[in-house]
Amino acid sequence: MAIDSSAEYGKYIANNVGNCFGCHTARSLKTGEFYGQPFAGGTLFPADPMSHGYSFVAPNLAPHKTGGIIALWDESTFVNRFRAGRVRIGSPMPWGAFSRLDEVELKALYRYLQSIDPVPGKVEKTVYAPGESLPS
Q: How crowded is the C-beta side of 69, counted as CA atoms within 13 Å?
A: 16
Tell me: the pLDDT tens digits for 54-98? 999 999 999 999 999 999 999 999 999 999 989 898 999 999 889
Give tens-digit pLDDT for 4-46: 889 999 999 999 999 999 999 999 888 989 998 999 999 999 9
Q: Looking at residue 29, what is its pLDDT? A: 80
Model confidence, pTM? 0.90
Provide the pLDDT for residue 2.
Answer: 54
- The per-residue pLDDT for 135 is 84
Burial class of residue 106, CB neighbours in 10 A (0-12, 13-18, 19+): buried
